[in-house]
Structure 1
Amino acid sequence: MSVTSSTLSKILPKKYKHKKEAIAEILAAVSQNKHLVPVMDKFVFNDGTTKNLLSLSGTILMYYGGKGYNIPVSLWLDESYPRTAPICYVKPTCEMMLLPGKHVNSNGQILLPYLNDWRHTACDLHSLIQVISLTFGESLPVCLRPTKEESQSNCAAAQRHSNIYSTPEGDSYMLLRQDDGLPIQRENETCC
């Protein structure tokens, strides 16, 4: 689908206060990032409220260790965009695991100084995407989920060095030991 100013005008609701600026930035961003598309969808805020917002969803190309990777993201634009920063998330596929860290929290939200210090006259979507790409090139936000065989192999290796216990419900768990030989508290035990 080719994204044009006309198609964006039709899907971007009137409640967007700076529609012309937003459309210009979206067009610039998608022209440079062919795997991002504008989508109107429900955004759920932390307090549970929802709003129909436009997001740029798809993948951003980044390089890690000399290899290119496509990282799935959603960049949500609030109604006051570009006066306010986008709300950005890494959206791992079912084959991926999120790697929370300095720049991505456990919910997948992207945390960057560029977003915290957002000024609409100095910041834009295209530059944001470049910052995300460079940041993820230094610290990966996702990895491939281990296959069932890999998980079972890791669990079997751990079983050789741990005590295995069963619950009355039939679940198994292993008691891991710290370096000092004392058992780790129950809430830190690993189910297998």
Structure 2
Amino acid sequence: MPYSEGAIRKMLPKTYLRKHVAHEIFVTITHFKNLVPMMDKYVYNDGSTKLLMSLSGTIPVTFTDKSYNIPICVWVEDSYPQTAPICYVTPTREMMLVPGKYVSSSGEVVLPYLEEWNGDCDLVRLLQVMLGVFGEFPPVCKRPFPDPEQAPCWLQFYRQEEALLNTDGNLYFSLFGEDGQYSWQENESNC
């Protein structure tokens, strides 16, 4: 669903510099087509919340000559452009966050560009800086064994939660046989 600059301006509360912020967001989503603007509740570290504009989606990062879609969320406060956006890497279930020099363990993006934010900074350049940094230091990786079928055999048993401990202290696994009936085997596995 394409967003016009006018539609974005209507989304913004009057506390924002609506014309300026709407224009920047429109230019940003023109360059980064997988980002979607929306008003959403942001939770600050102290637990307080505020309705803020956000850009959520993915940015295409090139790492080892391959392109990867890195999920991010950029929060634009109503004090923007005087204050820098708050940016996060938001891994999917299949991904693991890789904290490092530019990404905290909570997923917050920590860049010199954000720390030195001034009147010459904007959202498009911020995302271009992220592309460069994430291309050198990827903020996510594929989670090992996202699907039970890819997990080691022993982990598949635990994921299925079919392990039972009998009162005699022996471990039993309940498995479905080819006929759909339970098959009980004591301390045996083909793993």
What's the TM-score, normalizing by structure 1? 0.76
Q: Match of 2:117?
A: 118
Q: Match of 1:37?
A: 36
Which amino acid is the alignment partner of residue 132 of structure 2?
L
Q: Match of 1:166?
A: none
Of the three residues 135, 138, 144, the one matched with 2:136 is 138
Q: Unpaired runs of 5+ in structure 1? A: 156-169, 171-192
Which amino acid is the alignment partner of residue 131 of structure 1?
V
- Secondary structure, counterpart of 1:140 in structure 2: coil
Partners of 1:25 and 1:45 lie apart in 2 by 24
Give 1:35 deviation, angstroms: 0.2
Q: Match of 1:4?
A: 4
Question: Once superposed, what is the RMSD of the aligned Cα atoms?
Answer: 1.7
Partners of 2:111 and 2:154 lie apart in 1 by 34
Partners of 1:9 and 1:142 lie apart in 2 by 33
Q: Match of 2:94?
A: 95
Which protein is bigger by CA-based radius of gyration? 2
Partners of 2:43 and 2:97 lie apart in 1 by 19
Q: Match of 1:67?
A: 66
What's the TM-score, normalizing by structure 2? 0.77
Partners of 2:63 and 2:8 lie apart in 1 by 33
Q: Match of 1:85?
A: 84
1:92-121 deviation line (CA, Å, top 9, x unaligned): 0000000000000010000000000000x2
Whether 1:129 and 2:127 are equivalent positions in the alignment is yes
- Secondary structure, counterpart of 2:87 in structure 1: strand
Shift >2 Å, 4+ stretches: 148-155
Give 1:154 deviation, angstroms: 10
Partners of 1:103 and 1:154 lie apart in 2 by 36
Give 1:23 deviation, angstroms: 1.0
